Amino acid sequence: MPLRSDLDVVSPATLADALSFLAEHADEGWAPVAGGTDVMVRLEYGIEKRTRWIDLSRFAGELAAIGEEEGRIRVGGGATMTAVRRSSLLADACPLLGAAAATVGAIPIQNRATVAGNLVNASPAGDTLPVWLVLDAEVELASGRGTRRVPYREFTPSYRTTVRRPDELVTAVRFEPPPKERSRLLFRKVGTRAVQAISKVVVAGLLRTDATNRLVDVRLAFGSMAPVPVRATAAEREAIGRAPSVATGRAAAERLDADLSPIDDVRSTAAYRMRVARNLTREFLAGRLGEPPPVL
């Protein structure tokens, strides 16, 4: 991260050193930076007003592991989008994550952008965030006081805010792999371009049927449709107990008004966003959309 005359930057050598520093200076406004793909843009354009930064790059390897732990998948907060995209474990356990990581900017951005950065940035358009919602993931936060886990659905209570405390770092995200039998997964990002575009709508979905082909689990999560990524719980409830069909998709799509509150902005209109969300919901629950796009 290049220095500017008005920036203070510290670069601890280890995670323990970083947590010790944050514990000692918790009330002084120090903010963590990893890949810096969003921070550098915000600094360049004068949007970012914070001037005290704790650089995590020297111990990035401590936070980058992707593995299995206690029957769950653990994705290190320092894992880059490229690592997520290339992980054979994630490709098998949940291809949604690789598909989402593959839409985060261009390859150079994916080489630097991290899982924790996408979480803490807390943009409602964050590409990976609806996936964490669909997976009922937990965010792991470490401090000098120990480690705690927060359900991702509680991690971002309002626009661009998180429950991360000033002395904490996001060290990992954990989730239980979704069942493969009688299940379908969905990830779609809709933007101005196929790549290198901020999403107009991003959606992740999971559905599972029982032996009679009735839906017993339906999860739909949307980004760029509200101040925070949201689960479409009213639409989900509408579909439970039905068989996947055109009628089921139509009924669930009509309930999205209770779940989503898109706005007009420079990227799109509220009407367009809602139309896309309804179309994707209808097609997914009709059985016409399935696995996420291939990860290149």
What tens digit of pLDDT does each residue of 103-139 get? 998 899 999 999 999 999 999 999 999 999 999 999 9
Q: What is the pLDDT of residue 41?
A: 87
Q: What is the pLDDT of residue 294?
A: 66
Domain boundary among 175, 204, 238: 175
49 and 111 co-located in one domain: no
110 and 44 co-located in one domain: no
Q: Tell me whether residue 3 is in a domain.
A: no
- Identify the H or E element spanning 66: strand 66-69
Q: What is the mean pLDDT of residues 16-34?
A: 95
What tens digit of pLDDT does each residue of 46-105 get? 888 889 999 999 999 999 999 999 889 999 999 999 999 999 999 999 999 999 999 998
Q: What is the pLDDT of residue 296?
A: 62
What tens digit of pLDDT does each residue of 169-195 get? 999 999 999 999 999 999 999 988 767
Q: Tell me whether residue 143 is in a domain.
A: yes
246 and 167 co-located in one domain: no
CA-wise closest residue to 130 among 260, 8, 43:
260
- The CA angle 41-46-47, to the nearest 5 degrees, is 75
Q: What is the pLDDT of residue 192?
A: 86
What tens digit of pLDDT does each residue of 239-260 get? 999 999 999 999 999 999 999 9
CATH no. for residue 157?
A: 3.30.465.10
CA-wise closest residue to 121 among 203, 42, 29, 222:
42
48 and 71 co-located in one domain: no
48 and 93 co-located in one domain: no
Query: Dihedral sign, CA of 108, 114, 115, 116?
Result: negative
65 and 168 co-located in one domain: yes
Q: Tell me whether residue 293 is in a domain.
A: no
Q: Residue 38 above 90 pLDDT?
A: no
123 and 94 co-located in one domain: yes
Which domain range does residue 202 map to? 185-285
Number of separate domains in the chain: 3
CATH no. for residue 47?
A: 3.30.43.10
Q: Tell me whether residue 180 is in a domain.
A: no
- The two structure tokens encoding residue 76: 């290190």
Q: Tell me whether residue 292 is in a domain.
A: no
66 and 171 co-located in one domain: yes
Q: Are 191 and 199 in contact (CB under 8 A)?
A: yes
Q: Tell me whether residue 27 is in a domain.
A: yes
Domain boundary among 116, 145, 175: 175
Domain boundary among 147, 175, 203: 175
120 and 144 co-located in one domain: yes
Q: Residue 1 above 50 pLDDT?
A: no
Q: Are 82 and 95 in contact (CB under 8 A)?
A: no
Q: Tell me whether residue 291 is in a domain.
A: no
Q: Tell me whether residue 295 is in a domain.
A: no
Q: What is the pLDDT of residue 93?
A: 94
270 and 229 co-located in one domain: yes
213 and 123 co-located in one domain: no
Measured CA distances, 284 to 80, 219, 252, 255 (Å): 29, 11, 10, 15
Q: Residue 3 above 60 pLDDT?
A: no
How is 193-213 classified by DSSP, letter by letter? SSSS---SEEEEEEEEE-TTS
What tens digit of pLDDT does each residue of 207-220 get? 999 999 999 999 99
- The two structure tokens encoding residue 100: 């989402």
What tens digit of pLDDT does each residue of 134-174 get? 999 999 999 999 999 999 999 999 999 999 999 999 999 99
pTM: 0.93
170 and 122 co-located in one domain: yes
